[in-house]
Amino acid sequence: MSTPKKLTTNDFINSPAVIQNLRQLTDAFGEGGRNLIISDVLDQAGHQYVNLVQKGGGVLGIALIGYTYTLEQMGIRFLRLAGTSAGAINTAMLAIVGEKEEAKSIKVLEAVADLELPELLDGHPVARWLTKQFIATKGFLNKLKAVWLGVCIFYTLLLVTTFICLWLLPHNQPMVEVTQTLVVVLLVATGFLGAFVYYITRLLKRLKSSGYGINPGTFFYDWIKSLMQQNGVDSIDDLVKKATQPVPGLHLRTNNPRGIVQLEPDVTFIASELITENKIEFPRMCNLFRPPGRLNELHPAGLVRASMSIPLLFESYFIYGIPQNDPTIQKAWLDAFGETIPPVEARFVDGGILSNFPISIFYNPAIEVPRLPVFGIDLNDTAPSDKSKQAASWTFAGYLFRIFNTARNYYDKDFQLKNKVYSKGIGTILLPEFNWLDFFLTDTEKQALFEKGVEAATLFLLQFDWEGYKKDRSFMRVALKEDKK
């Protein structure tokens, strides 16, 4: 029996849909986007630079790669990077691979193509089976409920029938045999039911002790750590050095009062810290957990693992042994959050709980005329049936999705409403036919996700107006100054 052929980068980038979209961009802007103007910040090779924010969205992160691949094919590079969860994974890869001026999405795609997504679910086999059934089987919860109800009805009828035979019916020879049989069946059923309840209780205790996650997340941690090591990143210092490497020949296309001052690269991963209930920006806030000189006790793979810790699906990520009596740690917590007593440990879940699309991180009210835009990649997998404003038409999954999305998107949405010009830099990848937790995607579905990202980036670039963006950004600052008077 032959081994199934694994997807390669060529399978993704040479698909007819990808080629067609790139040809459309080439026809509009020339080869490599030579006639495209989206920023006033360039390097010595003529690449244009933007700040990039990537939204979280589970396995939908494959679409993010399609989007960044398209931007890079059009000569766009990324100065500052930020992301949450799946967005943090792609952000990390773009930060550590190669040099700033290089196109990187192909290498990111290669790493993801080699990854078997189900292996990320490294928990108990029952947990993996339940996750797959919940995603792949329509109405699985209702079927599970029906099975459990059937078991309860069967056990109740067996118990009642046995009681009647033992105490209410005559004890002649035939009935004694029937009763004995029923008693044996009842004892066996009780044993199985008791074992099942005991097993579920053990699983629930294990769930609590493991940080309320059914998967340890160890496979992902080892995977991203290996990729970092392959790219020369073994410590926080290495990550920062890679992310902040200067861009050769960085200059402006037009005059700007600020010149190239503060046009410095960096990277940010968003995580939610539960003990102190704060949003953490890694690696900038690593000083909350280790004093100077000890930062490299934390591995950068853990920062990304903290950002993608989807509640219940993955265990919380912990940082233990915070030296809370160290004056530098105390000052860091006081300055950052007003905390007078630092915690002794930190517990992280998915950064999307607090900020799934952290575009506000690049907001600078001091900028009068922007030198480069803030680009954002939005992932939207809301099904049409769940977009309705008529609550009665929502599916149960849509109802839960609404609750979760309200909590995780409100802060970012509020920022965009108050700073509408930033929406002009956001491209949305519409993915209603995909489930962000489907770790059992087929190869065809993976390719379709990548193609959706390419398509969304193409549409965005064809519509983006850099001069209009600059004017709107300047008007926004004037309006903010007037509001303060």
pLDDT bin (cut points 50, 70, 90) of residue 485 is very low
Instruction: Calculate Rg over the CA atoms of the chain.
Output: 27
Q: How many folded domains does the chain comprise?
A: 2
Specify whether the CB–CB gap between 21 and 458 falls below 8 A.
Answer: yes
d(C-alpha 85, C-alpha 357), whole Å? 10
DSSP secondary-structure letter at 33? G
Residue 325: inside a domain: no
Domain assignment of residue 172, yes or no: yes
Residue 347 resides in a domain: no
Residues 12 and 142 in one domain: no
Name the band, by pLDDT with cuts 50, 70 and 90, for residue 214.
confident
pLDDT > 70: what percent of the chain?
85
Same domain, 43 and 148: no
Q: What is the pLDDT of residue 140?
A: 58
Residue 253 lies in a domain: yes
pLDDT band at 178 (very low <50, low <70, confident <90, very high): confident
Give the pair of three-digit tokens for residue 154: 């069967």
Task: Say yes or no: 266 and 369 in one domain.
Answer: yes
Average pLDDT over residues 146-159: 81
- Mean pLDDT, to the nearest integer, of 354-377? 90
Q: Which residues are catalytic?
A: 85, 350
Q: Note whether residue 223 is domain-resident.
A: no
The pLDDT tens digits for 186-198 are 888 888 888 877 7
Show the domain range for 204: 136-210
Residues 56 and 177 in one domain: no
In a domain, 25, yes or no: yes
Is residue 362 located within the same domain as residue 393? yes
**Are 251 and 260 in contact, with CB atoms under 8 Å apart?**
yes
User: How high is the pLDDT of residue 484?
Assistant: 47
Residue 41 phi, psi dihedral angles, 5° rounding: -105, 120
Give the pLDDT confidence of 409-464 residue by residue, as tens digits. 666 777 777 777 888 999 999 999 998 888 999 999 999 999 999 999 999 999 99
3-17, 65-79, 256-270: segment of lowest average pLDDT: 3-17
| Residue 315 within a domain | no
Residues 381 and 473 grouped into a single domain? yes
Indicate the residue among 178, 210, 242 that finishes a domain.
210
Average pLDDT of the chain to the nearest whole number: 87
Residue 413 domain-assigned (yes or no): yes
393 half-sphere exposure, CB direction, 13 A CA radius:
8
43 and 184 together in one domain: no
Q: Please report, rounded to a whole number, the percentage of residues in the chain having pLDDT higher than 90.
A: 61
pLDDT over 90 at 127, yes or no: no
Residue with tokens 């799934």: 356
Q: Are strands 374-380 and 48-54 parallel, antiparallel or unpaired?
A: parallel
Q: Sign of dihedral through CA atoms 128, 55, 83, 98?
A: positive
Q: Over range 245-253, report the average pLDDT.
A: 95
Query: What is the per-residue DSSP string for 120-163?
Result: G--S-HHHHHHHHHHHHSTTHHHHHHHHHHHHHHHHHHHHHHHH
Q: Give 76's DSSP letter.
A: E
Check: CB of residue 211 under 8 Å from CB of residue 311.
Answer: no
Residue whose pair of structure tokens reads 């990550």 in the numeric block: 239
Whether residue 103 sits in one domain with residue 17: yes
For 306-324, b/e burial (b = at least 16 CB within 10 A) is bbbbbbebbbbbebeebee
pLDDT of residue 159: 81
Residues 93 and 184 in one domain: no
Can you give the CATH number for the domain in which 69 is found? 3.40.1090
Give the Cα separation of 459 and 75 in Å (integer). Answer: 16
Q: Tokens at residue 388, please?
A: 């309705």
Is residue 22 predicted with pLDDT exceeding 80? yes
DSSP-derived secondary structure letter, 51: E
Task: Tell me the mean pLDDT in the region 151-166.
Answer: 82
Q: Are both 79 and 154 inside the same structural domain?
A: no
> pLDDT tens across 62-106, in order?
999 999 999 999 999 999 999 999 999 999 999 999 999 999 999
Nearest alpha-carbon partner for 416 in 53, 66, 49: 53
Q: How far apart are CA 76 and CA 95, in angstroms?
A: 15
Residues pairing with 376 in the sheet? 53, 426
Note whether 140 and 115 are same-domain residues: no
73, 167: one domain: no
